[in-house]
Amino acid sequence: MKKKLAVIVALLLIATLILPGCSQQAQKPAEQQEIKIGAILPLTGSAAATGVKLKYAIETAEEIINGEHPEINMELAKSAGLPNLKGAKIKFIFADHQANPEIAKSEAERLIQNEKVVGLIGCYHSSATKPASQVAERFQIPFVAGSSSSAALTERGLKWFTRIAPHDGMETKFFFDYLKYLNEKFNAGIKKIAVVYIDNEYGVHAFQMVQKTIENYKNDGFELVLDVKYPANVSNVDTEVQKVKAAAPDAIFHASYIGDMTMFVKKYKELNVVPKVVLSYCGGYQDPQFVKNLGKDADYFAGPNATTSALFSKMPDLAKINEIYKKKSGVDIDGPTLEDFASAMVIAEAINKAGTTDPAKVMEVLKSTEFSAPYFVSGKIKFGEDGQNIYSASVMTQIQNGIYEAVWPENFQTKQPIPAFPEWNKR
């Protein structure tokens, strides 16, 4: 009996010594808390080059949030971590959807169930964003899309979805307004429109937006003379470009990614297709790889862009963000990457403003707050009832001498637009 009593006393003494340590661990300082957010991107496959740059942009946001960057005029840049959560750090957990919607869906489920992320961002391809955001809806956690542009994404009535980039309906209106500007200011004589688009969520919906929007511009003389749909795995565009050549449009609207867009431009040159204007939805044109792939042949192509290096001298906060991004990527930040940077900043800022990771409270902040965004020409982000950012962050850019110049609206012009392509043999 005495022996048992001695053992019990010894155990009590050991527990007394150990418990304070356990208690200290349980009360781990809040500043060491790590908040996980999932980021689903095309890190391998045909869009891997773009996906890797999007990853660098999100890592740039993570560095700004978790470090101290008082030189940048943004709320989360001033101090390390989230100030309203006692300095908690943000950790983005990356997943690769390989441009495959099914993989995007399964990765969203894995991030939520296994990694315990409290929010999701991504996925660049609208076709991947669609199923991944439906998973977020099912689990009732916030999803902030950066550069996905299909208007259908914000037409589904989802309660947990928001998007930074202008959708293709907004971009289509932007296209027609820009063509009107060229006609009125430069007497460009642009009337006949053709649409060339990839056969997926992004391309098909872009074409549908043209069909719908052109009805509002018929009094301005615009008419749709051709539409050309091509498969997502296209390897030869001879037939498609011959159709374009036969229709002889004044303007071509492209909904394409970097690989297929490059293929089309080479074929336009080979078959001497010379429209007055080519405008691209968010996709291949906006990737600076477009200029690397085509050299001087990339000149005169145009499209909306959330930013361009030509604007850095006018926007000091953007220039400082680019310094951090360029150290990681080796290139300047471009439009889609800036939109995904914005998605990372906004979801972190919403968590900070909510003062909690409770999804409903974070979502309430996302839907009710106007976020400062000094890196966009709009300067701000606010989501409407459907989750769409109501402030378009785009300027029209045109490649001139290898530089993406801002050509419209005039108050952001870095160069005047060139309203007609020269002949291929006169460049």
DSSP helix/strand/coil, 380: strand
287/361 same-domain check: no
In sequence order, the β-bridge partners of residue 96 are 41
pLDDT per residue over 407-421, tens digit each?
999 988 999 999 999
- Whether residue 420 lies inside any domain: the answer is no
DSSP helix/strand/coil, 105: helix
Alpha-carbon gap, residue 277 to 282, rounded angstroms: 16
Predicted confidence at residue 12, as pLDDT, reads 46
pLDDT per residue over 369-426, tens digit each?
999 999 999 999 999 999 999 997 789 999 999 999 999 999 889 999 999 999 999 8
Predicted confidence at residue 47, as pLDDT, reads 84
Q: Compute φ and ψ for 294, nearest 5 degrees.
A: -115, -15
In which domain, by residue range, is 158 found?
Answer: 34-167+315-382
pLDDT tens over the chain, length 427 residues = 444 545 444 544 444 444 433 333 333 444 458 999 999 999 998 789 889 999 999 999 999 999 999 999 999 999 999 999 999 999 999 999 999 999 999 999 999 999 999 999 999 999 999 999 999 999 999 999 999 988 889 999 999 999 999 998 999 999 999 999 999 999 999 999 999 999 988 899 899 999 999 999 999 999 999 999 999 889 999 999 999 999 999 999 999 988 899 999 999 999 999 999 999 997 788 888 899 999 999 999 999 999 999 999 989 999 999 999 999 999 999 988 999 999 999 999 999 999 999 999 999 999 999 999 999 999 999 999 999 999 977 899 999 999 999 999 998 899 999 999 999 998 8
In sequence order, the β-bridge partners of residue 383 are 389
DSSP E strand stretches across 8-78: 34-41
Nearest of 317, 305, 287, 325 to residue 56 by alpha carbon: 325
Cβ-contact 188, 170 below 8 angstroms = no
**CATH number of the domain encompassing residue 279:** 3.40.50.2300
348/359 same-domain check: yes
Alpha-carbon gap, residue 17 to 33, rounded angstroms: 26
- Whether residue 175 lies inside any domain: the answer is yes
329/211 same-domain check: no
Predicted confidence at residue 32, as pLDDT, reads 55
Cβ-contact 405, 175 below 8 angstroms = no
Predicted confidence at residue 171, as pLDDT, reads 92
Predicted confidence at residue 283, as pLDDT, reads 74
192/238 same-domain check: yes
Task: Say how many domains are in the chain.
Answer: 2
Helices (H), 39-149: 48-66, 101-113, 126-139
326/307 same-domain check: no
